[in-house]
């Protein structure tokens, strides 16, 4: 797996991992170890790129302010030097500092912009990668997992609507909605069971415009992210070994349904999560504990139904 303490470099990735970074999508059937290697390397690259982009942007804006202060300070010092109040050598110190500061500002902000181009939604890193690690004991080493993955997040081709909505106390409000079904996966478990997982994100942004008491135009963007997780399990639930991990309790109102299959019954569960942020797309995502908790609930439902009992 890539080292997140290093500066991320595309050339350090395998050709397949590099394609995923640029294309932000991958599909196919692979063994668990192959998926873990591919997604683990890309996740490490994405995490390192996120850190470098954040620090580059922070230092870039800091140096931008410093450049402005240096420019004003140099003009003041130049006036004092011309009046004979300050020695001339001060100008020889301050004047070279301005282009250096501006140059570093441009370099850092361009680097942050370039890293933004390869940025991926954090969901696959937070939810999927640790979930695959948790599945290691439940999948036959030679079995292949079918997966369709998209890591682009809320981009233009996922836009479903953009319109002005009643502004309320604001001057103008523009609402944008994206639909992002980013993961569909089916994995054969030990003993003939099959595990199905589908995750879809819905993003809503509201750009709010208003004027303050002094008449200055203001803007704020509020984001909401709804994550809909659909988990499915078809027999045999006795062989599921997730119990070794601490899991979250089933959410209130979570519905678990049994469906008939030619080989037995299938249990399916759908659960929704909500995240919010201001001026940035929410980075929070469903945790591996939440996912495992859903599958444990399905396994319990199947066991109870097979025994002729009533599931809680």
Which residue has tokens 């199947």?
302
Q: What confidence score (pLDDT) does residue 92 get?
A: 80
Residue 305 clears pLDDT 70, i.e. is over it: no
Whether residue 63 contacts residue 104, with contact meaning beta carbons closer than 8 Å, is answered with yes
The whole-number average pLDDT for the span 78-88 is 81
Cα separation values, 180 from 132, 155, 271, 286, 294, Å: 21, 9, 16, 15, 21
Q: What confidence score (pLDDT) does residue 4 get?
A: 39
Digit-coded pLDDT (tens) for 207-234: 999 998 888 999 999 999 999 999 998 7
Q: What confidence score (pLDDT) does residue 6 get?
A: 54
Digit-coded pLDDT (tens) for 169-206: 999 999 999 999 999 999 988 777 888 999 999 999 99
Q: What confidence score (pLDDT) does residue 249 get?
A: 45
Higher pLDDT, 235 or 264: 235
Q: What confidence score (pLDDT) does residue 246 get?
A: 39
- What is the bridge-based pairing of β-strands 144-150 and 194-211? unpaired
- The alpha carbon of 23 is separated from its chain's Cα centroid by a whole number of angstroms, namely 16
User: DSSP string spanning 286-302?
Assistant: --HHHHHHHHHHHHHHH
Cα angle for residues 227, 228, 233 (degrees, 5° grid): 135
Digit-coded pLDDT (tens) for 33-81: 999 999 999 999 999 888 888 888 888 889 899 888 988 888 888 888 7
């Amino acid at each position: 797996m890539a080292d997140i303490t290093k500066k991320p470099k595309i050339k350090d990735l395998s050709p397949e991992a590099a394609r995923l970074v640029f294309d932000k999508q991958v599909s196919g059937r692979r063994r668990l170890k192959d998926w873990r290697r591919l997604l683990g390397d890309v996740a490490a690259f994405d995490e390192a790129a996120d850190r470098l982009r954040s620090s580059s942007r922070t230092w870039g804006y800091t140096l931008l302010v410093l450049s402005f202060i240096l420019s004003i300070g140099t003009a003041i010092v130049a006036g004092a030097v011309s009046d004979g109040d300050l020695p001339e050598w001060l100008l020889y110190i301050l004047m070279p500092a301005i282009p250096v500061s501006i140059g570093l500002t441009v370099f850092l902000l361009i680097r942050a912009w370039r890293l933004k181009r390869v940025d991926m939604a954090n969901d696959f890193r937070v939810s999927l990668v640790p979930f695959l690690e948790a599945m290691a004991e439940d999948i036959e080493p030679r079995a292949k997992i079918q997966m369709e993955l998209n890591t682009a997040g809320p981009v233009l081709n996922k836009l479903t609507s953009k319109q002005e909505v009643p502004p309320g106390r604001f001057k103008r409000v523009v609402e944008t909605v994206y639909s992002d079904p980013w993961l569909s996966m089916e994995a054969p478990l030990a003993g003939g069971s099959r595990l199905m997982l589908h995750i879809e994100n819905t993003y809503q942004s509201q750009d709010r415009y208003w004027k303050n008491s002094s008449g200055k135009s203001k803007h704020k963007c509020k984001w909401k992210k709804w994550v809909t997780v659909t988990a499915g399990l078809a027999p045999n639930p006795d062989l599921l070994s997730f119990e070794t991990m601490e899991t979250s309790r089933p959410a209130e109102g979570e519905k678990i349904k049994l469906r008939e299959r030619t080989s037995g019954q299938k249990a399916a569960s759908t659960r929704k999560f909500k995240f919010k942020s201001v001026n940035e797309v929410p980075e929070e995502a469903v945790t591996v504990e939440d996912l495992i908790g859903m599958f444990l609930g399905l396994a319990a439902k199947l066991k109870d139904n097979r025994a002729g009992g009533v599931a809680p």
